[in-house]
Amino acid sequence: MTSPTLRVERQLLRAGAGLVCGMDEVGRGALSGPVSVGVVMIDASVRRGLPGVRDSKLLTPQAREALVPQIRSWALAWAVGHADAAEIDEVGIIGALRRAGLRALAALPTAPDMVLLDGKHDWLTPPAQASLLDEVPADVPPVTMRIKADLTCTSVAAASVLAKTERDAMMADLARSHPQYGWDGNKGYASPDHMDALRQYGPCALHRRSWRLPESDASEPVSGG
């Protein structure tokens, strides 16, 4: 498989974008926990890619962890934003992705001129008629979409690694107070052990209640943070 490159980022920089951010999300399909969005900013001074960076799904946990300090040193700036399960229930997954992405951008020292986003659907740009539930800053950077950017663009692949490692650590930490769901292993996704636990114990406050969860045999939902 071809390694990601900076070809697309350099095209955007040559076209006049002084600061370009690669952005990617993780946790979109999970049943519990947050959705998380990573951003990695570069400018024309970043002349080389980063060996070993791939879409986070293609890397082992050990490889992802080893890349984190390298990505943080390589990038001009970086951040990860999150939106929790309650927010996903409140505004839907697209609205929650937007919240997490805008929070990641707000954590950067300066705003980028362009965001390079994986896929073909721009979930970052607020709709023309934003609802009262939307958290919309005054200036949202323009977005360039690219299908399979997480496989072909170094900044997007790096953003996916940062988002994945941070979200995985959050889920492992939450597993200590909710051990019955096996989040340290399944990270909130619909694994057989997680589905069995939902049937046995029911959902807790960290599950996405608006999603179709398995019918529970428990008389009361599980409480706890």
How many Å apart are CA 146 and CA 215, to the nearest integer? 38
Residues in the chain: 225
Say what the pLDDT of residue 55 is. Answer: 84
How many Å apart are CA 32 and CA 203, to the nearest integer? 9
Say what the pLDDT of residue 225 is. Answer: 40
* pTM for this model (two decimals): 0.91
- Supply the Cα-derived Rg of the chain in whole angstroms: 18
Going residue by residue through the chain, which has 225 residues, state the pLDDT in tens, using 9 for 90 and above. Answer: 678 999 999 999 999 999 999 999 999 999 999 999 999 999 999 989 898 898 888 899 999 999 999 999 999 999 999 999 999 999 999 999 999 999 999 999 999 999 999 999 999 998 876 655 565 666 789 999 999 999 999 999 999 999 999 999 999 999 999 999 999 999 999 999 999 999 999 999 999 999 889 887 754 545 444
CB 27 within 8 A of CB 188: yes
How many Å apart are CA 100 and CA 105, to the nearest integer? 9
Say what the pLDDT of residue 135 is. Answer: 59
Q: What are the start-end ranges of the E strands in the chain?
A: 20-26, 35-42, 77-83, 114-118, 143-146
C-beta neighbour count of 2 within 10 angstroms: 6
Q: Is 14 left (phi over 0), alpha (psi -120 to 50) or beta?
A: alpha
Nearest to 81 by CA among 49, 105, 109: 105
Label residues 120-136 b or e (16+ Cβ within 10 Å = b): eeebbebeeeeeeeeee
